[in-house]
């Protein structure tokens, strides 16, 4: 785990502090949860892309052209 510093406006910090106290978690945990919710789909997309790229790099002849991709994945031409 890495450490970072985030600067928040006073009002936002106070709201997070109260919210964290009510839920018995740290402000840090609230921020982690918010980041995960906000970017989960993007992370999943990046992971899928990296897996596909690794497959292609291992065996380039498995590549499909764009029209075939659209038919298979998106149902259109």
Q: Tens digits of per-residue pLDDT, 40-66?
A: 888 888 888 888 888 888 888 877 777
- Helix (H), strand (E) counts: the chain: 3, 0
Contacts of 70 (CB under 8 A, 6+ apart): 76, 77
Q: How confident is the model at residue 76 (pLDDT cuts 50, 70, 90)?
A: low
Q: Is residue 60 part of a domain?
A: yes
Task: Extract the tokens encoding 30.
Answer: 């609230």
Q: Is residue 5 part of a domain?
A: no
Domain that holds residue 25: 10-74
Compute the distance between CA of residue 2 and CA of residue 44 in angstroms, rounded to an integer: 21
The DSSP-derived string for 23-48 is HTS-HHHHHHHHHHHHHHHHHHHHHH
Q: Per the structure, how many domains does the chain have? A: 1
pLDDT at 11: 97
Q: Is residue 3 part of a domain?
A: no
């Amino acid at each position: 785990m890495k450490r970072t510093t985030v600067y928040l406006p006073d009002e936002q910090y106070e709201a997070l502090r109260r919210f964290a106290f009510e839920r018995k978690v740290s402000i840090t945990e609230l921020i982690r949860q918010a980041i995960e919710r906000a970017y989960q789909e993007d992370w999943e997309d990046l992971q899928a892309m990296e897996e596909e790229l690794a497959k292609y790099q291992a065996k380039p002849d498995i590549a499909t052209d764009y029209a075939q991709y659209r038919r298979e994945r998106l149902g259109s031409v």
